[in-house]
Structure 1
């Protein structure tokens, strides 16, 4: 199998460690976790042993 190289947007998700409070006070978060189709796809392919690279553009 060849190397998998998707191109696309990249998003990440973070989750609050304590669900009782809003975001108005400092709190700790867990993450980042891949989100949106290309990052989720490439992370799962890598976990299955595929050789992977991910290409994306980032704003300023």
Structure 2
């Protein structure tokens, strides 16, 4: 898969042109600068995405 964008993630998703989708939520990085707890987070400057079988669907699918 080609790299479409390269964002430096130091502490938050604020100011990054992305949409975070998990647990039935669809929010912009500016609206949820710390991500979606336990699903989309920044750990040591790297985005950590977690998907579980028990997650609430977002647009009909499990996403993180």
Higher relative contact order, chain-length normalized (CA < 8 Å, sep 6+): 1
Structures share a fold, TM > 0.5?
no
TM-score (ref. length: structure 1): 0.23
TM-score (ref. length: structure 2): 0.22
- Give 1 or 2 for the bigger CA radius of gyration: 1
